[in-house]
Structure 1
C-alpha cells in the first residue's frame, strides 16, 4: 500500500518502511509523528485530502542537506563577484504505518514544520489577551478607536461605553481620550 502526503510545500509518494528527507519538522530524534495532509491512499483520491487518513513516521535525525552554491558576477570593469553557500535544514523520517481511517484517534503528535511551531505557541496567549472581559463592550466600534487604543483604554479601567461616556476628555489621565469618542460612547451606551 502507498500514500501521497504533503509536507513542507512538497508531495511525497511513500510506502511503509521508506526513509524520507523532508523540510525541518519540530520533533526530536526517536519521536513518532503523524502526517495528516494525505492526498491519496492506494487508489483512493481525496477531494483536497482523504478524510481520516494519515501517515505515521518515526524521526530518525535532524540533518542538513547538501551545500548549494550561489555565484553572482557582474561583467565589465570594476565588476563584483559574490559567492554564497546554503545548507537546508532537513528531517530524516522513516515511514512506519499508513492509516486509511481513524487518524484522529491514534494519539500520535501531528507533524508541524519548525517555523510554524513558535507561531502556534505564541498565537494561543495572544488570543487570550485579545478577548475582552465578560460584560465589556467592544470599544473598537467607536470611530477612531483601534485595537491599540482599545487596549490602552482597557488598561486604564475603561471597558464599557458607559464608563467612556462618563470620562472628561480634557482631564482624564489614564489614556488619551478624544471628545468625539466620549460623544459616540454616550450614543452607544443608551
Structure 2
C-alpha cells in the first residue's frame, strides 16, 4: 500500500516505514502529525485518486528530527567583465517517518 501526499509545495510517494526529508514543519521532535493532503492511495490493484485531493484519506507520521541540508553553491560570472559573485544556501528540513495510511 502506498500513497502520494503533498506537503511544502512538493509531492511524495510514501509507504509505511519510509523516512522523508520535507520542508520545515512547525512541530516538536517526537510528535505525531496527520498529513491530510493526499492525492492518491493504492492498495494492490485498487487505486483511488482525488480531484485533486481525497477527502477521507490521511497519512500519519512521526517527526524524527529537524536539520539543514548540505550547502549548495551559487556562482555567477560574466566573462571578460571581471564580475564574479559566489553565494551559498542551506535549506531547513524536517525528517518524518510514515507510520500509517488510511484511505
TM-score (norm 2): 0.92
Decide which of 70, 86, 89 is 2:89's aligned counterpart: 86
Secondary structure of the corresponding residue to residue 95 of structure 1? strand
Structure 2 residues without counterparts, runs of 5 or longer: none
> Following TM superposition, where does structure 1 have runs of at least 4 consecutive aligned residues deviating by more than 2 angstroms?
none
Higher helix share: 1
Give the Å deviation of 1:9. Answer: 0.9
How far apart, CA to CA, are the structure 2 residues paired with 1:87 and 1:39?
29
Specify the alignment match of 1:53 in structure 2: 57
Specify the alignment match of 1:4 in structure 2: 4
Alignment: residue pair count: 99
Structure 1 residues without counterparts, runs of 5 or longer: 101-190
Give the Å deviation of 1:6. Answer: 0.3
The RMSD of aligned alpha carbons is 0.9
TM-score (norm 1): 0.51
How far apart, CA to CA, are the structure 2 residues paired with 1:51 and 1:6?
14
How far apart, CA to CA, are the structure 2 residues paired with 1:46 and 1:35?
15
Greater RCO (CA < 8 Å, at least 6 residues apart): 2
